[in-house]
Structure 1
Amino acid sequence: MSLKHVMEVYDLMDDINVTGDTIKGYLATINQQGTINVQTISGDKGKTDFIKVLIPGKNGKSKQGTAPTLGIIGRLGGIGARPEMNGFVSDGDGALASMSAAAKLLDMVNKGDQLEGDIILTTHICPDAPTQPHDPVPFMDSPVDIMTMNQYEVDEAMDAILSIDTTKGNQIINHRGFAITPTVKEGYILKVSEDLLHVYSQSVGKLPVTMPITTQDITPYGNDVYHINSILQPSVATDKPVVGVAVTTETAVAGCGTGASRVTDVEEVVRYCLEVAKLYGQSKCAFYNEKEFKHLESLYGKMTHLQTLAN
């Protein structure tokens, strides 16, 4: 159960003066074993603080071990849209979930439950991000572009990635809670991982919910095609498998809307990611079938051109 950590992180993030160092300081009070880095990056529309948390595993690569490393990315435009909107915005759920997961993992180490593999958690903290028009509801914009986000949030040490993103501003997924996407790897949309579905049903206690994605969604921003949101943008910056964990609602909710974050839904996401992390480090949770992927490429060739802006 990680509700306590979600509520504590939410209270810190729901503040016009919050910075990456605010979150770093909070995490450091829980446990000093994690490595926490904060970098302030400026863009055309403001600045934001990127934060990266490395939590070593018992047999993690940071200790020259052999266990695989899971990446958990909190993807968003910003946690606030001030001065246009007052308070924490719906778009901030990705940052809230990833840093709450970091807090819970550090607390688990205190209690003797260190995981097998390393976990790298990244996001960025911006309480005054801009907004932009989008149909059916307004999108949150960001002070920096997607390429910059990928540069600071996608780490080459990640062997697989869970990308958490608020995905409420659409008419495609009509479920309150969260949903997972098919696995995306090197331009291919692969089948939904059965292992990840099993973890969903175990941790939530309900049938798993999946979110449909399209070829457009796995191409880079900036190519003038429709994207449901940025949930799968990490997949354009890595050759590792990426799965989106979408925080969802029954109705279309604007990313810049306030009062729309449900801590219980975010807690479910955190708990899900933690359960995946436990199994992934033990090589008991596969994001995709490696043999089948090689067969696909032998039949149809590389699809990595979909990871680029092309012509």
Structure 2
Amino acid sequence: MLIKQVIELIDILDSPSASGTAVEQYLRAIDPQANIEVYALQGPKGKTDMVKVRIPGTRGKSSGGSAPTIGLLGRLGGLGARPERIGFVSDGDGALCALSVAAKLLDMKVKGDHLEGDVFISTHVCPNAPTRPHTPVPFMDSPVEMAQVNREEVTDELDAILSVDTTKGNKIINTRDFSISPTVMQGYILKVSSDLVDLMEITLGKPAHVFPLSQQDITPYGNDLYHLNSILQPATATKAPVVGVAIATQTPVPGCATGASHFADIEEAARFMLEAAKAFGRGELSFYDKEEFARIQALYGDMSHFQGFGKQ
């Protein structure tokens, strides 16, 4: 379980002085030799601190091995909406979840439990992000643009991505805890990964929840089309398969709402992502069927134009 990690990190992140440096100090207290990168990213509405953690596997590509690399990305606008709102906002759950997995993996590594594949974990830390209007409830905005974050986080080293994001400001998902999306890859919305469904049911101890996607959801922000939220934005910047991990609620909750984060849901999502990282590195988890993907491309062609802005 990741109870300890979630509790310790919320204490760091729920603060007007939350920063990438504070997160790095916490993680280095667990593993002084950890590969952690923290730097400021400037955007059109301010700046945020990028936090990247790379954890090598016993057969990972970083050490010359062939085990696949998984990316665990915490998506958000910001941790807080100060001075408009005081406290940790619902939108920060994705960052809290991803960083909790990073802390747990570093603790495992120090104790001698090593995964086979490399794991890349990234998010950003901003305690005073802006807000913006959205229906049915207001969204958190971000000081940086989505394309900037994609350029920082989504690299060719990643063979698959789990993107965790608060996804409460809608009437599409109406269940508490977390839901997963179908696999999105190169402009296609593919079938749901049965491996991830099985893993989710083991984690939750109850039937898996899968949330629907529209074609608009997997196109880039900035094209004036509807988007559920930013959870599938990494899919616009990679050829690798991407699955969204949506921390959700039964009723619409504003991303800028405080007092709206649920400990159990965040811990369950983090535990699921940890188990997915273990299985993916061992080659026991598939995000998509390679033969079927080749077949659908042969039948219907290249769909990667949906990863761009289309006809302008």
> Which TM-score applies when normalising by structure 2?
0.99
Aligned letter for 2:181? T
Determine the C-alpha separation between the residues in 2 that align with 1:99 and 1:268: 14
Equivalent residue, structure 2, for 1:195:
195
Equivalent residue, structure 2, for 1:275:
275
Equivalent residue, structure 1, for 2:152:
152
CA contact (8 A) 1:82 1:127 kept: yes
Equivalent residue, structure 2, for 1:177:
177
Q: Which moved more, 1:186-195 or 1:36-45?
A: 36-45
Determine the C-alpha separation between the residues in 1 that align with 2:31 and 2:264: 24
Equivalent residue, structure 2, for 1:7:
7
Cα-to-partner distance string for 1:194-250 (whole Å, 9 max, x where unaligned): 000000011111110001011000000011010000000000000000000000000
CA contact (8 A) 1:50 1:153 kept: no
Deviation of the 1:32 alpha carbon: 2.8
Equivalent residue, structure 1, for 2:101:
101
Cα-to-partner distance string for 1:59-95 (whole Å, 9 max, x where unaligned): 1111111100000000000011000000000000010
Structure 2: unaligned runs, 5 residues or longer: none
Determine the C-alpha separation between the residues in 2 that align with 1:124 and 1:141: 13
Equivalent residue, structure 1, for 2:247:
247
CA contact (8 A) 1:181 1:243 kept: yes
Deviation of the 1:111 alpha carbon: 1.9
Aligned letter for 2:205? G
Cα-to-partner distance string for 1:9-43 (whole Å, 9 max, x where unaligned): 11100010111011011001101343100110111
Equivalent residue, structure 1, for 2:136:
136
Equivalent residue, structure 1, for 2:19:
19
Deviation of the 1:188 alpha carbon: 0.2
Equivalent residue, structure 2, for 1:63:
63
Aligned-CA RMSD value: 0.7
- Number of matched pairs: 311
CA contact (8 A) 1:34 1:56 kept: no
Aligned letter for 1:82? R
- The answer to whether residue 231 in structure 2 is matched with residue 220 in structure 1 is no
Determine the C-alpha separation between the residues in 2 that align with 1:294 and 1:21: 44
Equivalent residue, structure 2, for 1:119:
119
SS state at 1:173 partner: coil
Aligned letter for 1:27? L
Equivalent residue, structure 1, for 2:168:
168
Cα-to-partner distance string for 1:256-282 (whole Å, 9 max, x where unaligned): 000000111100001000110110000
Determine the C-alpha separation between the residues in 1 that align with 2:188 and 2:263: 33
> Which TM-score applies when normalising by structure 1?
0.99
Equivalent residue, structure 2, for 1:43:
43
Equivalent residue, structure 1, for 2:303:
303
Equivalent residue, structure 2, for 1:52:
52
The 4+ residue runs of structure 1 with deviation greater than 3 A are none
Determine the C-alpha separation between the residues in 2 that align with 1:151 and 1:186: 16
Q: Which moved more, 1:232-241 or 1:31-40?
A: 31-40
Deviation of the 1:162 alpha carbon: 0.1
